[in-house]
Structure 1
Amino acid sequence: MTVNASGDPTDVPAAFDDGASAYDTLVNANPGYHDHLRISAQRMRLPDQGRGLRLLDAGCGTGASTAALLAVAPHAEIVAVDGSAGMLAEAAAKQWPASVRFVHSRIEDLADAGVAGPFDGIFAAYLIRNLPDPDTQLRTFCSLLRPGATLAVHDYSVRDSKLATAVWNAVCFAIIIPSGKIRSGDASLYRYLRRSVNRFDGASGFRQRLQRTGFTAVRSDTMPGWQRNIVHTFLAEAPR
């Protein structure tokens, strides 16, 4: 893994390639990880179990977010995209219905990969924080949605809470980074995870970012349990 002067990966999708084989084992050890993804998907309030809907899972990773979408919208067409070939291979190796299609592409290059709107919903889990130009990508998402359709961003955000920041860093140092080192042999990706969350917008700042990039009806809610005020669902709608 190539890192810059701050110790961050210079190519985030390639960094996830390196950690792909151990990724599911690590997240499965995180209490609430899959339940929280499903909570965010449920908060999209997709009608009629997704019948007739076309959804984009942006940054699908190994497919955990895809499974969350499928759980709440089993009849939807889901296009799941990720820039890491390693993570996508892990996802594609699992059992999926014919309504789910995986596409290897950086999220900034969707058009070049043949992924075009309109979509009836976009789910972006643990994605925006890792992008070099989040505002441009959010504007693109807005343009890919049907009028009134929902974007759900599921991600860590701790900056607005000193307690959440302290808990996040304690968990990283005590559990996430050592576990990543044991399971993958390299903790660089998990040290980057800690730093990227500390740098990311607070919940209020990210809501403002969504409004600034063209979304309406912006709101957010957090998760139950120890990840309260650490993991959030941000919801926003494309203008009608």
Structure 2
Amino acid sequence: MTLLRGDALSAAFDHGSAAYDRLVAASPGYHAHLRRSARRLGLPDGGRGVRVLDLGCGTGASTAALLAAAPYARITGVDASAGMLERAATKSWPEGVDFVHAPVEELAGRLRPGSFDAVFAGYLFRNLTDPDKTLDLVRVLLVPGGRLAVHEYTLGGSPVHRAVWNAVCAAIIQPAGRLAGDAGLYRHLRRSVVEFDTAPAFAGRLRRAGFTDVRVRPLPGWQTGITHTFTGRTGEEA
């Protein structure tokens, strides 16, 4: 199977949006892990006066995690899937949260440089055709000294991590996807993780893109060594 990209991936998420919240809620730690990564952004004063870009916001799980960590932040969620955003729009959000339907690659012409104090990206980068180009865009959209947190499936260095991921996919994730009628999307999920950067490789990618103070922190439970939080900052000169 070829990995899904661009319009094909957006269409798969459109189709899968109806069951998506139910499936991820059944994954132990899914929402708690997102909240932990959102806290690792370290937004001060509950996010008061802070502008946050939530890239790949999907149905709003990452948006809710950001609000839990920084309830006063102004958050703009962006996603390429209209179906996922329709699910997000049905939920109750405070003033200061808005959503934009657009592929990440098209944001350069829609958002001003230096528009955001922080960027959060949950489960996004392994789905992109050109992760480096998106990291360059993120640096442009952030203010000097702006914060980045990436919450992503990135396997650690041990073969055990790959073995656990493949076993969980084969036994649980892919069968659940088939029952929901979204077998292709969850086959993509499995392969996209195996074929993407390891955690050390993605940290190196962030540093090459010009981010400083890059840190890699694991998440607990069965996803230890499988899902990580990456944090970094732009330099004082954008």
- The reply to whether TM is greater than 0.5 is yes
Indicate the residue corresponding to 1:88 in structure 2.
85
Letter in 1 for 2:3: D
211, 229, 233: which is aligned to 1:233? 229
Q: Match for 1:167: what amino acid? A: V
1:50-82 CA distances to partner (integer Å, 9 max, x unpaired)?
001000000000000000001111111100000
Does structure 1 retain, via aligned residues, the 8 Å contact 2:56–2:79? Answer: yes
Contact 1:126 1:155 in 2 (8 A): yes
**Mind listing any 5+ residue stretches in structure 2 that lack a counterpart?**
none
1:79-228 to structure 2, matched below 5 A, reads 79-114=76-111, 117-158=114-155, 160-183=157-180, 185-228=181-224
Q: 1:7 aligns with which of 2, 7, 24?
A: 2
Deviation per CA, 1:15-38: give whole Å up to 9, x if none: 111111110010000010000000
Once residues 48 and 154 of structure 2 are traced to their aligned partners in structure 1, the CA distance between those partners, rounded to angstroms, is 32
Q: Which residue identity does 2:68 align to in structure 1?
A: A
CA RMSD between the two structures = 1.2
Q: Aligned partner of 2:4: which letter?
A: P
C-alpha distance in 2 between matches for 1:188 and 1:85: 18
Which residue among 36, 51, 73 is the counterpart of 1:54?
A: 51
**Greater mean deviation of Cα atoms: 142-151 or 111-120:** 111-120
* Unaligned stretches of 5+ residues in structure 1: 1-5
**What is the one-letter code of the residue matched to 1:99?**
G
For residues 118-174 of structure 1, the C-alpha deviation after alignment (integer angstroms, 9 at most, x for no partner) is 211100000011000000100110111111111101000115221111000000000
Which of 59, 63, 67 is matched with 2:60 structurally? 63
Structure 2 distance, partners of 1:153, 1:84, is: 19
Kept in 2, the 8 Å contact 1:159–1:200? The answer is no
Cα separation, 1, equivalents of 2:117 and 2:146: 5
> Paired residues, what number?
234
Indicate conservation of the 8 Å contact 1:110/1:116, yes or no: no
Structure 2: how far apart are the matches of 1:77 and 1:62? 17
The answer to whether the 8 A contact 2:156-2:200 is kept is: no
Give the TM-score, by structure 1 length. 0.94
- Of 13, 18, 33 in structure 2, the residue corresponding to residue 36 of structure 1 is 33
Query: What is the TM-score with the length of structure 2 in the denominator?
Result: 0.95
Give the deviation of 1:8 after TM superposition: 2.6
